[in-house]
Amino acid sequence: MSARRTIRTIPQERTPMPTQPASERARNFDEVALGYRYEDARREAERCILCPQKPCSGACPVGIDIPGFIARASEEDWRGAYDILSEATLLPSICGRVCPQETQCEAVCVVGDHLEPVAIGRLERFVGDMAIEKGWAPSVDVEPAGRRVAVVGAGPAGLACAADMARAGCDVTVFEALHRPGGVLSYGIPEFRLPREVVDAEFGRLQGLGVTVECNTLVGRLFSVDELRDEMGFDAVFVGTGAGFPAFMGIPGEALNDVLSANEFLTRRNLLRAGSAGADTPLRVGRRGVVIGAGNTAMDALRTAVRLGAEEVRCLYRRSRAECPARAEELVHAEEEGVIFSWLTSPVEILGDEQSNVRAVRCVRMDLGEPDASGRRRPVAVPESEHEIETDMVIFAIGTNANPILRQTSRLASNDRGYLVTDVDGRTSQAGVFAGGDIVTGAATVIQAMGAGRRAADAMKAYLGITGPEERDLSDPSRPRMFGIDERQRPFRRLRIA
Ligand code: FAD
Ligand code: SF4
């Protein structure tokens, strides 16, 4: 390793991400951010001063050894960098693309106190993409534990839990309602942000662990969680069904034609290919579209509408740009692609024509008052500020709720908002049933869902009496590396079945 790096000696500018020009990308679904080239990644890796206290790792929900992987990257030991990443994350290419790094690891990066923080996510993506290209996968060393585990929901939470339990030697089956695994990564986030090949490649590694994925299986209708455990022979169950149930505002006009939720709009485009020529479920996008909300989901819906040919696409948000909850990069990209933002604007009614098609949204202007429980300034309607915005389509992206099916068909305790109640390790009110991800926390992030899946897997192993031996020589550099949690637990071996 070269001489010790300091803020003065490292490259001062953050390496920019090459992107498709806005005028071109607004007309195609190809990936917007093209990814670092080799030289970009090498240069950016040199910006990390490798601080021993690793605040960035502490701010990562799965605790990636960030300076560890960046140190390997700056030595051009890319395989070594990947091995360190894959000890903590199943999905580096995905998380490198969609994690809100600016509020997690990059928010606490020491370099960020003086310069722009190290582009940790971009480096993670570079290494993850190289692993896909080269066909690298963590090696597997699994001793059968003689236990069967069911995972309900193939989103990031379920798949992270499935990987850890497979690695612990369990026979794991994932039941997924849709025809594709991935959860929001497949049905929600569009290809221009997260190409399908990347999702397929990273999830394909699960198959290498021997996990079985049963798609088109709606648990709670075909069979219940109780049946999985009591009659179908599973020793433990993890529930990671997400929070995909759309929310509306309850304003007049929501039943008009071409009023829909962002989840429906995005699912129809991403999973059912609506919008492509000859699609079985065509998606009608008018000349003008309005999206209500300004989170990541809203940005995806806005930018998808632009790409599907709407001439004027507008975002309505009741707070100001400063409070916009979307990832900063997505907001900037949406602006560059021509989305119009009506900040401090809240809809009060959707207006239709004589055929019950949407024709306009009646809105009021808002002011920001005192901070509310979220710490953000509360929007307050400005008197006599009503006005109409003409539109052919209204998409609600104001958040989601828990799907009620499992709550209605199991004895799992839930809170008054319908989310499953668990302890910090994901244990539900039913012995042997664990839960994590959006179905517990409400809408959160990919990496938080993965972290919850992994914590629940830990608790599940303890419940099943599966513990890892500490007696193997962990200093042996040739020891197999897997989706590890920490040194003490790697590699797993069944010691005792309770
Ligand atoms: P999900 O990803 O929702 O997966 C749950 C899975 O369970 C689904 O596949 C569902 O079909 C399945 N399921 C549900 N019920 C059943 C049942 N009864 N039986 C069988 N299967 C069932 N986060 C970020 O970090 N960065 C982003 O940029 C980002 N963008 C987003 C964009 C959109 C449009 C949306 C909707 C969310 C976004 N998020 C983003 C949030 C993130 O995707 C979620 O927090 C994360 O996917 C939650 O993971 P999960 O595993 O809990 O649930
Ligand atoms: Fe590197 Fe920033 Fe993490 Fe320090 S905080 S180790 S500079 S990425």
Whose CA is closest to atom 1 on ligand 2?
48
Please report which ligand is nearest the Cα atom of 115: 2
Q: Ligand 2: which atom is nearest the Cα of residue 47?
A: 7
Tell me which fold the domain 148-244+402-468+484-489 belongs to.
Answer: FAD/NAD(P)-binding domain (3.50.50)
CATH of segment(s) 251-399: 3.50.50.60
Whose CA is closest to atom 4 on ligand 2?
51
pLDDT value for 226? 94
pLDDT value for 109? 97
CATH of segment(s) 22-134: 1.10.1060.10
pLDDT value for 140? 64
Q: Ligand 2: which atom is nearest the Cα of residue 112?
A: 2
pLDDT value for 482? 37
Query: Rounded to the nearest whole angstrom, what is the distance from the C-alpha of residue 7 to the centroid of ligand 2?
Result: 11
Angle at CA of residue 215, ends 212 and 216, nearest 5°: 150
Please report which ligand is nearest the Cα atom of 6: 2
Question: Where exactly does CATH 3.50.50.60 map onto the chain?
Answer: 148-244+402-468+484-489, 251-399
Where does residue 113 rank: exposed (0-12), middle (13-18), buried (19+ CB within 10 A)? exposed
pLDDT value for 141? 67
Please report which ligand is nearest the Cα atom of 186: 1
Other CB atoms within a 10 A radius of the CB of residue 133 amount to 9
| Model confidence, pTM | 0.87
Are the C-beta atoms of 464 and 146 separated by less than 8 Å?
Answer: no
pLDDT value for 2? 56
Which positions of the chain have pLDDT values less than 70? 1-3, 139-141, 275, 468-498
Test site for ligand 1: of 102, 151, 176, 184, most ligand atoms within 8 A of the Cβ: 184
pLDDT value for 281? 75
- Cα 343 from Cα 495, distance rounded (Å): 58
Where does residue 96 rank: exposed (0-12), middle (13-18), buried (19+ CB within 10 A)? buried
**Helix crossing, 120-134 with 196-208: angle to 10°?**
60
pLDDT value for 356? 95
Half-sphere exposure of 61 (CA within 13 A, CB side): 23
pLDDT value for 139? 63
